[in-house]
Structure formats: C-alpha cells, structure tokens
Amino acid sequence: MAQVTVLIWLNDLPDKSAALKELERELHVAQSTTADIVARLEQKGFVEGFGDSSDKRIKMVRITPKGEQCCINARKNMEESEGKLLSELSDEERITFNKLLQTVRNGVIILEDKKSLDMFSSMSVSKAVIKNAVPAMAAMLMVLIYNLADTFFVGQTSVISRCFGFSWTTFLY
C-alpha cells in the first residue's frame, strides 16, 4: 500500500517529482523506510531517482510513464472496490460514512499539529486521552474495514496460494 501511496502522491505533484526528504515527511516514516520503498519502485520501473541539479547531495525521485499507468489502474481498482464495498449503502448512508471518514482524517491532522502536544497542560488527562483515543479508534476501524475488503477481493481470485499468503501476512499491516 505504501508503494501505491507514493506513486499517487508523486503523480499528483505538478512536476511529478520530489526530494526523498519531502517524501519521507509526507509518509511520516524513517529515511531508511522511504529509501526501501523507493528502491522497490525503481526496481519495478515505476520511479527513477536522480540528483538535484542545484545540490547533488539531494536525492530526487520522479514517477515514470509506467508508474503513471500504474496510478491510473490503481485509482480505477480503488473506485471499483469502493463501489462494491459501499453498494449496499443508501445515498444517505454513503454521505454519513464519508463524513465520518472526513472527521477521522481531521482528527489525525489535529493530532499531527504541534498544538495537540500541549493539550495535556490545558485540559485534564482524561479529556486529553478521550480527544486522542476516539480518532485513533476510528482510524483503526477504517483500517480493519479496508483489510476486510482486501481479503474479500483476494479471495475472489480463487488462487489458494494468494489467499493463504494474504491471510498470513495481513497481521503485519
């Protein structure tokens, strides 16, 4: 999933390239993790690394045409999956679901804000814990739903080795 996230993020940038440090901040992961993700994408031909023309110490990465095509396919698959996943919901339920996801997203953004670190000095511990716990639990629920959807669609392939492999590696995520 991290690889697709990187590809979509790069594809959405105006020049379709970014510094590795910028990517690291966007993903909120360590430099080594970012380097591993980019290395795997380079091996597959989805991105290419290059040095910044003004400062050769800065490693840059850009999406390739093959990576752009992968983004198109990924977005199409995500839209199809979302359509199937939400097909049993009414229009009103879909709106409510999207509002809840937006609320969770906003909660995560608030948690990343430096001011949220000061909340323990401005409110009681129990209120601060609740303010942090509710968005975290909602995010975990969202991850669970997506993992269930992934498991369902892998199961639809009827390839036993994929189903087995996915079932045994899902807990890592």
Query: What pairs with residue 60 in β-bridges?
Result: 19, 50
Neighbours of 131 (CB within 10 A): 15
Per the CB < 8 A criterion, the answer to whether 47 and 38 are in contact is yes
- What is the predicted pLDDT for the residue at 125? 66
Neighbours of 70 (CB within 10 A): 21
Q: Cα–Cα distance between 64 and 71 in angstroms, integer?
A: 11
- What is the predicted pLDDT for the residue at 155? 72
CATH number of this structure's domain 2-67, picked from the four choices 2.30.33.40, 3.40.50.1820, 1.10.10.10, 3.30.70.60: 1.10.10.10
Report the predicted TM-score, pTM, of the whole model to 2 decimal places.
0.56
- What is the predicted pLDDT for the residue at 50? 86
Structural tokens at position 161: 């080795």
- The one-letter amino acid code at 101 reads L
Q: Cα–Cα distance between 131 and 110 in angstroms, integer?
A: 10
- What is the predicted pLDDT for the residue at 33? 85
Burial bucket for residue 154 (CB in 10 Å: 0-12, 13-18, 19+): middle
Structural tokens at position 112: 């990343």
Q: Cα–Cα distance between 26 and 63 in angstroms, integer?
A: 16
Query: What pairs with residue 63 in β-bridges?
Result: 47
Pick from 107, 90, 92: nearest CA to 142: 107
How is the chain split into domains, by residue range? 2-67, 86-172
| Residue 90, CA distances (Å) to 69, 93, 94, 95, 97 in order | 32, 5, 6, 9, 10
| Tens place of pLDDT per residue across the chain (173 aa) | 678 888 888 999 999 998 888 888 887 778 888 888 899 999 999 999 888 888 878 898 999 999 999 888 888 888 888 888 888 888 898 888 888 888 887 776 666 655 555 565 566 667 777 777 777 888 888 877 877 777 777 777 777 776 667 666 655 55
Average pLDDT across the chain, whole number: 80
The residues, any chain, with a CB within 8 Å of residue 157's CB and separated by 6 or more, are 163
Query: What pairs with residue 17 in β-bridges?
Result: 62
- What is the predicted pLDDT for the residue at 68? 92
